[in-house]
Structure 1
Amino acid sequence: MYDAMFQVQKPVVCGITSLGYDHMEILGYTLGEIAGEKAGIIKRGIPAFTVQQPDEAMCVLEDEASSLNVDLQVVQPLDVNLLNGLKLGLEGEHQYVNAGLAIALSFTWLRRTGHLELANQEHAGSLPEQFIKGLTAATFQGRAQIVPDQYVDSENDGDLVFYLDGAHSPESMEICAKWFSGAVKGENQPDKVKPQVFDPSSAERVQLEILLFNCMSVRDPELLLPPLMKTCASQDVHFKKALFVPNVSVYHKVGTHNLTSSTVSEPNLSWQLTLQRAWDNSMQNDKGREAKQVDHVPEEKNDDSGKSGGSESSSVVFSSLPLAIKWLRDTVRQNQSVSLQVLVTGSLHLVGDVLKLTRK
């Protein structure tokens, strides 16, 4: 067993969330293999819960639970009516699945640890006030998070808004695309980050969607980028340009001790160029896509250093994230009528780096 949860020997209650193709180099390359690793958390005599899973994964979980004489209970998504007119603090339909599992785990933990006053409300047809407060106030930085760039004056410049989601698996990429598409179209989007009016005549700025992407080299971009593009396109959201950058943060594979500098004078961009080719191939193969009629994104006029791709290209590789951010800021400063909506995804490291660079 390679999953870290296997090391928890005496849990109070066990829960397994939606399984997908993630960390495959460690957990396995089929849903059955991945489920087999995740099933290690199931312990004899301990209540266990999960959510609806693909058949291949569910069969493995059920077999493991049966071998330990554990009744694996499948939890349904949270009924929105139980929130008393409020909404979950975390965006996305999948969060109602997660919330349903969290509630089942919480009630079981309360009951098994002697907090019977709250535990006895499980079948009352309503949720404890504490549950509702937690579910509606929950936040998770870097997941379905909308951040206006604090270094851009939206009153005098164009508009620059970052949509952050650390999705890095095929399943989460599709969920991310649905969230982003709804957000840029004004669905469930806070008023403070909606594109602002350009002039007193109420003519709106030209809204352009941009992708800012990187992922670890152990991941297959052919499994990440096409679902992202196609899901957005199905919602009539089309990226005008994709930017590929290396991460700023340094991370190390478990078990390695070599320290590398995050400031490299000549960064190796071979992986970013691979991502760019995967994106361009997806663009070319998407024959049925109707091109969205928008003006081209103006390039920075006097400084083309650090990037590969021209103003008419659908993708650009930048040698660093700060250069990509600078290009985005220069674009909206030079074009007051432009509103750039930038989806940042593929890597939690990238999302964290963007957060650092966009907040004062």
Structure 2
Amino acid sequence: MSRARSHLRAAFFLTAVSPRGATSWIAARRELSARPAPQEPGMEYQAKRQRGDPQKQLEAMELYLARSGLQVEDLDRLNIIHITGTKGKGSTCAFTERILRNYGLKTGFFSSPHLVQVRERIRINGQPISPELFTKHFWRLYHRLEETEDSNSCVSMPAYFRFLTLMAFHVFLQEKVDLAVVEVGIGGAYDCTNIVRKPVVCGVASLGIDHTSLLGDTVEKIAWQKGGIFKRGVPAFTVLQPDGPLAVLRERAEQTSCPLYLCPPLEALEEGGLPLTLGLEGEHQRSNAALALQLAHCWLQQKDHRGVGEVKASRPSLLRQLPLAPVFQPTPHMLRGLRDTEWPGRTQVLRRGPLTWYLDGAHTSSSVQACVRWFRQALHRCKEPRSGTEVRVLLFNSTGDRDAAALLKLLQPCQFDYAVFCPNLTEVSSTDNADQQNFTVTLDQVLLRCLEHQQHWSRLDEEQACPEPGGPTSLLLAPHPAHSHSTSSLVFSCISQALQWISQGRDPVFQPHSPPRGLFTHPVAGSGANVLREAAAIHVLVTGSLHLVGGVLKLLEPSLSQ
């Protein structure tokens, strides 16, 4: 059995039970334990591993598609909306899908990463496909690829993200969706979703710095990659970007003969009509909603659908680089779609007794800045007279080649009382959860990174510090800051332990077994536990890695695992 094939089985063995029954289940577990360092199913790792001629990677994806029984032309039937960007592309996809579903259309939605279960990545009418449907399509595709493998090829099975992309296309075609909203994995030009040759419309959400080892170290280089999804004659839309990357997008569009439009702000669509209410919180979501409205409006026009909204007079672009997209009156279907959009783990709030959990995956500087604005505004809105102490807690982790110190610095204005760091592991032993397993790193490695995060935080505290004799200290003895607000920091081995310490049994849903022996013996953990038990309100911001947010949701919302 090839290495790629065994890794694929290892990644899925808890989600897709083979029709062959328990034998395959046991065999997959044995295969997993027999491999000392199976590969991470993360897109970035796979992209690095398969780096070479990027165009050949797309050609390889077309070969996988052919081996699976489809041709690129078959994907034209999916009426795809292809969306990329650095931040907000997932939310834009969610808004777009919800709007079009309100028109009575059967929608497919492929996104990444998942938060709790891998089947979240493939949705029909907004809902993750069922375990039974996932199982059926997984093994059907797996065996088809197995039967057509070339013994002379060094890679006989597609990697994790490629496999899921192929599977999504098969599911959407078999389920006969009216359209598919497809989110790019990484970049655009050489992303495996870019084998789509004739999408109906394309979108580019806000651009920023991320995945620099793959996409480049400037926003302009990243814009070049994102603009790679543009297709000849296919309309594309983008939101307001800095001049440099916007010029790159315009150049890419001109080279491809792609009509590219700049989205007017949401305020322009509100004039003379009803105010727009968004189901996703945060000022930054208005940009995503504006893009989603244009994508949905264009798709409906391209498909000659009725009720697309009355077009008003268009205004000249302020930047004079791109024509402004039409200003139109959003229809009731569009208004309801924006209002009813849900996208877990993004500006999400869970209120549980004295605890309020704020969850927002943010792993770039711009997305963390947006997260901080949202969190502080949310705190301001919920100000109520309370007889007791209010405590603010940060739960953070960051992975990959991201600059964690820079991200943590942006979080400091929130004035947290405690900064908690842990790996993206729900439990110390998480072999029962392949959906959230990272197969390339050991517990020691991820804990070392968490300790580095703690050290970054303590150094940031010290930079602001004005030592006070006898003042409280953090876990690494950071002195009391000059603004008389100190942050104590802790590292836990997994998400469950971190949540146990933060909640202190006061979350009515998250009620774990007794904590491991010695969990709260550190002086900071012990004194902090007393503070948390007596606090009138505890505000917890969970941010950084989306995988961290997913692990927290798995424990706080058990229904998501069912």
Q: Give the TM-score normalised by the residue count of structure 1.
A: 0.77
Report SS of the residue matched to 2:307. Answer: helix
User: Which one-letter code corresponds to 2:282 in the other structure?
Assistant: G
1:258–1:269 distance in 2 versus 1, CA, 3 Å: closer
Structure 2 distance, partners of 1:93, 1:258, is: 33
Structure 2 distance, partners of 1:336, 1:175, is: 31
Of 329, 338, 354, the residue aligned with 1:126 is 329
Where do 1:187-206 residues align within 5 Å? Answer: 203-206=386-389
Structure 2 distance, partners of 1:217, 1:203, is: 41
Q: Does 1:22 align with 2:210?
A: yes
1:43–1:162 distance in 2 versus 1, CA, 3 Å: same
User: Which one-letter code corresponds to 1:317 in the other structure?
Assistant: V
Structure 2 distance, partners of 1:334, 1:55, is: 47
Q: Which residue of 2 aligns with 1:226?
A: 409
Shift of 1:310: 8.0
User: Which one-letter code corresponds to 2:402 in the other structure?
Assistant: R
1:8–1:332 distance in 2 versus 1, CA, 3 Å: farther
Q: Does 1:2 align with 2:190?
A: yes
CA RMSD for the aligned pairs? 3.2
Where do 1:121-270 residues align within 5 Å? Answer: 121-123=310-312, 126-149=329-352, 154=353, 159-186=354-381, 203-229=386-412, 233=413, 237-248=414-425, 259=439, 268-270=446-448
Contact 2:387-2:536 at 8 Å conserved across structures: no
Q: Which residue of 2 aligns with 1:199?
A: none
User: Which one-letter code corresponds to 2:450 in the other structure?
Assistant: Q
Q: Does 1:33 align with 2:221?
A: yes
Structure 1 distance, partners of 2:406, 2:445, is: 25
Contact 2:397-2:421 at 8 Å conserved across structures: yes
Shift of 1:337: 3.6
Structure 2 distance, partners of 1:129, 1:315, is: 48
Of 509, 533, 537, the residue aligned with 1:339 is 537
Contact 1:160-1:332 at 8 Å conserved across structures: no
Comparing 120-129 with 39-48, greater Cα deviation is found at 120-129
User: Which one-letter code corresponds to 1:100 in the other structure?
Assistant: A
User: Which one-letter code corresponds to 1:319 in the other structure?
Assistant: S
Shift of 1:335: 3.1
User: Which one-letter code corresponds to 1:222 in the other structure?
Assistant: A
Q: Which residue of 2 aligns with 1:283?
A: 461
Contact 1:332-1:338 at 8 Å conserved across structures: no
Comparing 75-84 with 313-322, greater Cα deviation is found at 75-84
Structure 2 distance, partners of 1:214, 1:120, is: 43
Using the aligned pairs only, state the percent identity: 37
Structure 1 distance, partners of 2:477, 2:198, is: 58
Report SS of the residue matched to 1:165. Answer: strand
Structure 2 distance, partners of 1:342, 1:310, is: 23
Of 91, 94, 116, the residue aligned with 2:284 is 94
Q: Which residue of 2 aligns with 1:254?
A: none
Report SS of the residue matched to 2:418. Answer: strand
Shift of 1:273: 0.9
User: Which one-letter code corresponds to 1:358 in the other structure?
Assistant: L
- Count matched residues: 312
Q: Which residue of 2 aligns with 1:198?
A: none
Contact 2:417-2:487 at 8 Å conserved across structures: no
Q: Which residue of 1 aligns with 2:247?
A: 59
Report SS of the residue matched to 1:92. Answer: coil
Structure 2 distance, partners of 1:18, 1:174, is: 13
Shift of 1:334: 6.6
Shift of 1:333: 8.9
Q: Which residue of 2 aligns with 1:304?
A: none
Structure 2's unaligned 5+ residue stretches are 1-188, 313-326, 432-436, 479-485, 505-528
Larger Rg: 2
User: Which one-letter code corresponds to 1:35 in the other structure?
Assistant: A
Structure 1's unaligned 5+ residue stretches are 196-201, 252-256, 300-307
Report SS of the residue matched to 2:208. Answer: coil
Structure 1 distance, partners of 2:532, 2:410, is: 33
Contact 1:3-1:27 at 8 Å conserved across structures: no
Q: Does 1:113 align with 2:113?
A: no
Structure 2 distance, partners of 1:58, 1:261, is: 38
Contact 1:76-1:97 at 8 Å conserved across structures: no
Report SS of the residue matched to 1:104. Answer: helix
- Larger RCO, structure (CA 8 Å, separation 6 or more): 1
